[in-house]
Amino acid sequence: MSTTKYIFVTGGVASSLGKGIISASLAKLLQARGFKVTIQKLDPYLNVDPGTLNPYEHGECYVTDDGAETDLDLGHYERFLGVPTSQANNVTTGRIYQSVIDKERRGDFLGKTVQIIPHITDEIKRRVKILGKQGQYDFVITEIGGTVGDIESLPYIESVRQLRYELGTQNSLVVHLTLVPYLNASGELKTKPTQHSVKVLLENGVQPDILVLRTEHELSDDIKRKVALFCNVANDSVIQSIDVSTIYEVPLKMQEQKLDEVALQKLGIQVKKDVKIKPWKDFVQKVKNPQKRVKIGLVGKYVELPDAYKSIAEAFVHAGAVNSVKVDLEYIHSEELTADTVTDKLKDLKGVLVAPGFGSRGISGKLEAVKFARENNIPFLGICLGMQCAVIEFARNVLNYSDANSVEMSRTTTKPVIDLMEEQKGVTEMGGTMRLGSYPCEIQKNSYAYDAYGVVNIDERHRHRYEFNNKFINQFAEGGMKSTGINPDTGLVEIVEIPSHKWFVGVQFHPEYKSTVLNPHPLFVAFVRAAAEE
């Protein structure tokens, strides 16, 4: 396609309606028609990135290849499209203001008063258009975080208004997602909140082209026509998004109602018949019809909010489908695990995953979980802090280093088996200062990791400050825990395994970030296979 087309996805009525999934679904359908698509998220909060946010606030922090700490919606984008995202795909108000203020300090505005309009909106528009300028995409889909009417969202909606004017209606499109609530008492579906939400958009100068209505019940044609009439959109442009059992069914539901075709027609693009969606359909079939179930425990301290482990949960869906099993993921609070409770809480599990995390809260419970899995030959996967816990547990209980610890938990340990990296020692700022993004790893043949990946050289994403301390590498190997993956450039240990165990793997990196629907992550696939084996 000669010019890049821009699609904006806004939301109204309530948050958490699934704008990210709708954006990713539309992107998937366009991709299935042979178009090149990328998705971007604009977040209205003032943090420069979500890296400094507690997972309880916005859920998991997702990390891209280029080391950007981003919103978890980028995880959905990658899982749906199978195309890597980057720093440019997630922009926050904090980052926008930071660049504008940096420019002001440099004197770039030549004495002018710096204002939200035009300076902040110009910066927002620049960030949207950067992706289109790269020339590699037919479509840039931009999801605007928050809900219309929020004070924080205003500059973004104003930027959408200006962009529509500048780009023209043939090159841009607005999809607005709202909620149609069901009133149990009267048995009615209510469209008024949607009408109000569209009015707010109109007050801000933006007329949506397509409305996607989130609902728990089927919307009749009458209701859709009513919404179309009151909101100034064509009848075929009111699309229902009904609750489904798996988010991966949403693209298929959207396709049934021709969301992609309506979007293409509005953008003046010829709608061809050829849609390559079969592998996706096969995947959804497998997710919905598992041949058996397997219970795996996820031990972490943020389990009250499952979004804190979004990518891990999704990686299990992908890996389950390949193995024709459904993984019943049981979230287990690490603070509830003690020597007394651990057996009771973990005895029914076929696999144990100890999750990533920061700080000492909940560590003793994680160590109990590792010990239980190790001693009872239960397949085990430790990710990042989970791998570090596996190392500490092994040092304490097998090598008999009773004082072994990570320097993160104890500055004074005499056996710092997990230590601060040299280059981290002088760092005092928290934001963006960890080992972040993609690093190479060389895998030793004759290991669980090699069996899973089937190749020697891999790249995986990182987000941590502490590392396995190589001073102890020989003691661990002699004791029965081997380093089977090493960073070829730095010698840092990236994978540890216990070869005498059924399946025991700890990884310093985050495999979950790279698992996608059509490319499930090999370590998760192997872990689920081991857990499902009788």
Cα separation, 374 vs 368, whole angstroms: 10
Segment near ligand GLN (CB under 6 A), from 47-55, 212-220, 290-298, 351-359?
351-359
Chosen residue from 357, 506, 520, 522 binding ligand GLN by CB under 6 A: 357
Closest separation in Å from C-beta 61 to ligand GLN: 9
The least CB distance from residue 465 to ligand GLN, in Å, is 4
Residue 130 Cβ, how far from ligand GLN at the closest point, in Å?
Answer: 29
**Amino acid identity, residue 336?**
E
Whether 28 contacts 80, CB under 8 Å = yes
Nearer to ligand GLN, 287 or 384 (CB): 384
Tokens standing for residue 142: 């931009």
List the interface residues with ligand GLN, window 180-199 (CB under 6 A): none
Pairwise CA distance, residues 253 & 236, whole Å: 15
- Name which of residues 400 to 429 contact ligand GLN (CB under 6 A): 408
- Of 423 and 533, nearer to ligand GLN (C-beta) is 423
d(CA 89, CA 77): 10
- Distance, in Å, from the CA atom of 527 to the CA atom of 452, rounded to the nearest integer, reads 9
Residue with tokens 């995953």: 353
Q: Taking contact as CB under 6 A, which single stretch among the options 211-219, 285-293, 352-360, 482-490 is the one that binds ligand GLN?
A: 352-360
Q: Which residues pair with 460 in a beta bridge?
A: 439
**122 — phi, psi (to 5°)?**
-60, -40
Using an 8 Å Cβ cutoff, are 321 and 351 in contact? no
Backbone angles phi, psi at 47, to 5 degrees: -65, 145
**Total of chain residues touching ligand GLN, rule CB under 6 A:** 10
- Residue of 483, 3, 534 lying closest to 268 (CA atoms): 3
Q: Which strand (E) or helix (H) includes residue 76?
A: helix 73-81
If the CB atoms of residues 162 and 470 are measured against ligand GLN, the closer one turns out to be 470
CB of 410 to ligand GLN, least distance (A): 13
Of residues 61, 231, 384, 389, which has the active-site annotation? 384
Q: Which member of 60, 314, 408, 512 is catalytic? A: 512
| Cα angle for residues 246, 139, 83 (degrees, 5° grid) | 55
Alpha carbon 205 to chain centroid, angstroms = 32
When binding is defined by CB under 6 A, the residue of 99, 358, 364, 444 that contacts ligand GLN is 358
Least Å distance, CB 334 to ligand GLN, is 12
Using CB under 6 A as the binding rule, the residues of this chain from 456 to 475 that contact ligand GLN are 463-466
Contacts of 75 (CB under 8 A, 6+ apart): 60, 62, 310, 311, 314, 513
The residue behind tokens 């031990």 is: 299
- Where do the DSSP E strands lie in 301-349? 325-333
Mark whether 384 is an active-site residue: yes
Question: Which is nearer to ligand GLN, 95 or 463 (by Cβ)?
Answer: 463
Nearer to ligand GLN, 351 or 356 (CB): 356
| Residue 202 Cβ vs ligand GLN, minimum distance, rounded to whole Å | 44
CB contact set of 253 (below 8 Å; sequence gap of 6+): 25, 241, 242, 244
Q: How far is the CB of 510 from ligand GLN (least distance, A)?
A: 7
Smaller CB separation from ligand GLN, 344 or 422: 422
254 neighbors 18 (Cβ within 8 angstroms): no
Contacts with 139 (C-beta within 8 Å, 6 or more apart), sequence order:
4, 5, 6, 7, 27, 30, 35, 36, 37, 38
Would you say 263 or 299 has its CB closer to ligand GLN?
A: 299
When the beta carbons of 392 and 526 are compared against ligand GLN, the nearer one is: 392
Radius of gyration of the chain (CA): 25
Catalytic residue flag (residue 119): no
Least distance between ligand GLN and beta carbon 517 (Å) = 24
**Least Å from the CB of residue 405 to ligand GLN:** 12
H-helix or E-strand containing 405?
strand 405-406
CB closer to ligand GLN, 109 vs 358: 358
Clarify whether 375 is annotated catalytic. Answer: no
Please return the burial class of 99, using the count of CB atoms within 10 Å of its CB with bins 0-12, 13-18 and 19+: middle
CA 108, CA 424: separation in Å to the nearest integer? 34
Q: Report the site for ligand GLN in 198-237 (rule: CB under 6 A).
A: none
Q: Pattern 365-394, binding to ligand GLN, x per CB under 6 A?
A: -------------------xx---------
Instruction: Give the interface segment with ligand GLN, choosing from 137-145, 221-229, 329-337, 353-361 (CB under 6 A).
Output: 353-361
> How far is residue 143's CA from residue 86's CA, in Å, rounded to a whole number?
15
Q: Look up residue 200 and give its amino acid.
A: V
- Distance of closest approach, residue 471 Cβ to ligand GLN, in angstroms: 17
Of the candidates 462, 501, 510, 521, the residue annotated as catalytic is 510
Closer Cβ to ligand GLN, 449 or 492, answer by number? 492
109 binds ligand GLN (CB under 6 A): no
Tell me 79's DSSP state: H
Query: Known catalytic residues?
Result: 384, 510, 512
Judged by the rule CB under 6 A, the positions of this chain that interact with ligand GLN are 356-358, 384-385, 408, 463-466
